[in-house]
Structure 1
């Protein structure tokens, strides 16, 4: 910009571009700024150089423009980045024989990862690749990273902190952990707890029973009406704890309250919130990685497409990939959480329900 160059800075969302625009304005000396358009997010310097913030949500805005350099931040998280690069971004660098910088946390082995591989190919002189982990960041303490390592799923830690691309995008459980803990035959031991995820709209109700070793010993999955669901829950052994997704306002909430009113013993409601769900799922993932759980192939398949992402405030959220289901994962997570609490609660004389 100081040397009269025109720069484009691309972020995945318009909101992030606004934040970066405001931060950059703070560090540029006022006497150098010719104009700062807060609507179009363009900063023009008196030297003639400019900085245009563009969003991955509108990559067609590159058409007809010319830049010396394009910086694409969190490139792995911009949808259809391949088409945008080949058809919109790359052409706008032609007039000035410009360059591009792709920066990102990896998100599986997608197009950003394929560009990274170009730079590792010594015969390709147009590309150069760099790899840094969070350990290389002098502004983040090593203790903070170690704390994250202890609390995050291994796949999330490797991708977010070590910058190692997972095979399956944002999968929360690495495939080798899923394979190592999948069983083809259910345990013959008696269940000590049931986790129950109630169908919302088009998904399934799932009932998962775990034995004292954490192995799945009971599994039922169906799409039926609420009355049928209630009868299946009531048919479970009355002496064994049954944990039900009873999130406020959900179908499960109504079924849970109905079972309570009918005096069904040993039932416990679990309400999912932005605070409780991440903790529950993280606990599940860590126990899978430690080999503390065994589950059937249907659950394994759901785990393979169960993903994490970040909210606008920086918190991790979990859910199934588009087109998939997570009822088996949730039922397993509920059973896992309370399996470990049963000996303490029952020895202390607590009664659930």
Structure 2
């Protein structure tokens, strides 16, 4: 009853207030609420009591025990400021970032747009963050020791592609002591030239040297949904050859075909990564390609178009080890993760 009422209240607030705000300002408002929950012991305990995942949902992966297979994808908590609050409201893990070695402001605003009709977002944030050391300090200050935290790392915009490996190594070194796992992000469409690093000749040294810099911390690679299936298979082969611990499929897409109002959206919002429900089909297709190409013990995190417990269960049945979401959080509200966890154990 509490959950249904809270979700109804959120929808009223979203439709009457948040939906009228610029998307990035609305995100900042939500972030402040989540930080407040995480920073207050009473609120944190109350949230945890409502949203704690059922013990039957525990998953062993990457040498860690996740309280639920469902976690929050990178991009929501760029500077690791909300870990305690996000864990309290039911996420089985929180992936922070993307963080870069040096702080950078990202792309000019406006750079995030909601598309409510498609339950989607377009963003061209451009890795805005306070830098890897600031993220490491923030992760180290978290109060919730049980929260599993991944750190997603990228290169600075000003770093030329031929020196990208230096940035991934520097970021990994900065955060490895506090991260439960690391993710190499070469698949965001919002940093010029970044996706070119998915070519095998450029990718191999990044994977090998970042793995060495991680010093035993589990390391995964995040790929784009816009790659051809054969290119995905070749990347999977490199992941196995180098000895990475897993792969995240997928990042946002540059495609606009899945949108119901493609022409209007392209004209109104321009470039950026599309996430949310329109990505669901392609993300599932990529998961199936990846699962067939990787060994059974290789961790696969499926992301893209996940809305409810049915979607999470579908990904798990298709071979995902863990599942992540982000965009639906904006539309469903703060009890979204708790609702998914209940759905996974058949509760209503």
Q: If the TM-score is normalised by the length of the shorter chain, which range does it land in?
A: under 0.3
Task: Determine which structure has the larger helix proportion and give its number.
Answer: 2
Q: TM-score if structure 1 supplies the norm length?
A: 0.25
Q: TM-score if structure 2 supplies the norm length?
A: 0.25
Q: Which of structures 1 and 2 has the larger relative contact order (alpha carbons within 8 angstroms, sep 6+)? A: 2
The structure that has the greater radius of gyration is: 1
